[in-house]
Amino acid sequence: MTAAALPLFGTTSKNVLPIGFSTLGCPAWDWHKILDFAQQNEFGAVELRGLQGNMDLPSRPELSPEHIAESKKEVTARGLRISCVDSSANMHDADPEKHQQQLADARRFIDLASALDSPYVRVFGNKIVGERDLAIKNIAKALHSLGDYAGPKGVTVLIESHGDFTPLFPAKKTQCLPSASSENTFAILISKIQFERAQARMTTYSTC
């Protein structure tokens, strides 16, 4: 279950829980079943991580340019927000062409989040490829560029604690990626499961 920051909700019924859930937990549900469940169970938000097995959210009919306005109305009519739009974009690719493809994919998700008035898009740092300092520098540069793209659209880019970027101590993550910051910069999304896995193998994690 995903905690959604209180500023996401504005004025809501006192019965609405200031939390949301991820569609990762209901991969077979269609769009309306997801929204109806959230409303009926008094959630405040939904985190979009795929719909009916399709992780490429911008390609979904419900979220296409032709239908996005109606889908947004359906969210609002149920008193909900889309707390985050989760991409599969990885920032670690050393191959320039693949790296640009990943950035382009992240921008598609940023555009979708903006259209849905969702404040966040999730990306992955994922792997440390090659020499560590250079890999982190390149990932930070990618995050910086995405932050600059997302900011004017009202979206913040989140990097999840995933793969080689699973932190033992969240404060040290920001020390690893200081150059990622832009005026409309990234934030850090801590995965509880990944954090617990990191604690179990703490002797193998190299801190900054």
Could you tell me which residue, 177 or 117, shows the higher pLDDT? 117
The answer, as to whether pTM is greater than 0.85, is no
Instruction: Report whether pLDDT(195) > 50.
Output: no
Reference 120, options 11, 8, 206, 15; nearest CA is: 8
Q: Tell me: the pLDDT tens digits for 146-192?
A: 999 999 999 999 887 766 666 533 444 444 555 555 555 455 544 44
Q: Which residues, in sequence order, are CB contacts of 37 under 8 Å at separation 6+?
A: 26, 29
Collapsing DSSP to helix, strand or coil, 128 comes out as coil
Q: Identify the CA nearest to 101 among candidates 116, 87, 112, 114.
A: 87
Domains contained in the chain, number: 1
pLDDT in tens, 15-50: 666 789 999 999 999 999 999 999 999 999 999 999
* Residue 125 confidence class, pLDDT cut points 50, 70, 90: confident
- As given in the structure block, the two tokens for residue 115 are 């259209």
Q: With a cut of 50, say whether residue 197 has pLDDT above it.
A: no
CA 138 to chain centre: 20
d(CA 8, CA 118): 9
Residue 174 has a pLDDT of 45
> How many Å separate Cα 178 from the centre of its chain?
19
Give residue 54's domain range.
2-204
CATH classification at residue 156: 3.20.20.150
Higher-confidence residue of 195 and 113: namely 113
Q: Which pLDDT does position 31 carry in this prediction?
A: 98
